[in-house]
Structures are given as structure tokens and as C-alpha cells.
Amino acid sequence: MVYIIIIILIFAFLVWSAADISSGIYVKTFCGIKNCDEKVVSLTFDDGPESGTTEKVLEILKRYDAKATFFCIGKKIEPNSEVFKQIITFGHTLGNHSFRHNDNFSLLLPSRMREEIERCQAEIKKYAGYEPRFFRPPLGVTNPMLAIALRKFRFDVIGWNVRPFDTSAKDADEVSRRVISKIKPGAVVLLHDRMPHTPKALETIL
């Protein structure tokens, strides 16, 4: 019985460390600055570019003179190339979020993960003229396979410490309340520019 409990605890730890990007067990990640003295936060947006919503996000950021990092999905760049170019024109930072953002990304072999990452790098470079140095894994899941895949690259892997779950929130007010209640100096906020309520939530946050 003791051995079973130990096995269960080990399994639970492995699952937690893979699902929690801030654990840093498998991959070293940046998830914010603790005890930050400056009143600064990092706004990050995943899963774009998305025509119709990313433009609105960019307009709001420009209005408030704010900069953000956009972790882009490679396959979305070409069909949304004009929006992608706006991200660059407005001086925001680009990040790699894999080419397809498959839900089973964490189950792929390292070689397949590398292929996904490389294709996204190539797509970004095609339009931006450079390869980004930041990477965020799909769904924020890290594991030994990803650690092996990333050996080829010199990425800074970026996580977060403020997550409002905007992809499942009922409206913009819920998203903004969650962010405002958790945010503090040095925070890294995770949002998704593909969600229709993100622009309104962002304006409230800013």
C-alpha cells in the first residue's frame, strides 16, 4: 500500500510539473519578476494573428502607448499577413507559439516538436525579417520531450503568472476582473488576441 501511495504521489508530481509552466522542472521559464520595485507588467497575447480582433487589440495598445508580446501560431500568419505586419509596425515583440498549436503538441516526439517550432520560425522570418528569441509552448505544457526539442534553439521560454482564463470566461468584465485582482508589479499576463472579448477587457485593464 505504501508503494502504491508513493507511485501515485510521484505521478501527481510529474503531471503537475508538466502542466504548470512556472514549475521549471523540465524547461527553464520566465514567469514574471518577484518583488519587483518598478510598476511594470508584461502583456502577452497567444494564438494570433486573428483578423478582426488582433487589430482592435493593437488599436487599444497604441491608444495607451503600451507594448506587448504576441506569441503567434505559424499557420495563421500568411492568411492574416496584413494584421501580422501591423504587429511589427507598431513595435511589438514577436514570439513563437508553434506552427499549428495542436492540442497534442506535448505528446509529440522531440523531432516533431522541432519541426513545428522551425516552421513557425520560418514563417515569422518570412514576414518580419528575423527569427524571434521568445517561445511559449502550446497550452503552456512542458515535459522532457520539449526539453530535448529545445536544445537546438536558444529561446527564452516565457510563461505567465496572471492567467484570467479568457478563452472560457463568459465576458470581458470577467476577464478584466480576474486580471486586476491578480496583477502586481513584475507580472506576466496571459491573454488571447483571438477572443472577441479581449479588446474590451484589455481597455479596462489598461
Please indicate whether residue 171 is annotated as part of the active site. Answer: no
User: Residue 8 above 90 pLDDT?
Assistant: no
Enter the DSSP assignment of 155. P
| Domain harbouring 182, CATH code | 3.20.20.370
- pTM value is 0.91
Please indicate whether residue 192 is annotated as part of the active site. Answer: yes
What pLDDT band is residue 19 in, cutting at 50, 70 and 90? low
141, 17 contact by CB (below 8 A)? no
Residues of the domain holding 74? 2-205
pLDDT tens column, 88-139? 999 999 999 999 999 999 999 999 999 999 999 999 999 999 999 999 999 9
User: Residue 12 above 50 pLDDT?
Assistant: no
The one catalytic residue in 92, 97, 192, 197 is 192
What pLDDT band is residue 13 in, cutting at 50, 70 and 90? very low
pLDDT tens column, 39-90? 999 999 999 999 999 999 999 999 999 999 999 999 999 999 999 999 999 9
42, 189 contact by CB (below 8 A)? yes
User: Residue 140 above 70 pLDDT?
Assistant: yes
**The pLDDT value given to residue 1:** 58
pLDDT tens column, 157-181? 999 999 999 999 999 999 999 999 9
For a pLDDT cut of 70, what percent of the chain falls above it?
90
The one catalytic residue in 46, 47, 166, 193 is 46
Helix (H, G, I), strand (E, B) or coil at 206: coil
**The pLDDT value given to residue 174:** 98
The Cα-based distances of 52 to 56, 67, 137, 198, 203 in angstroms read 7, 19, 24, 11, 16
CA angle, 139 then 180 then 17, to 5°? 30
User: Residue 14 above 60 pLDDT?
Assistant: no
User: How many domains does the structure of the chain reveal?
Assistant: 1
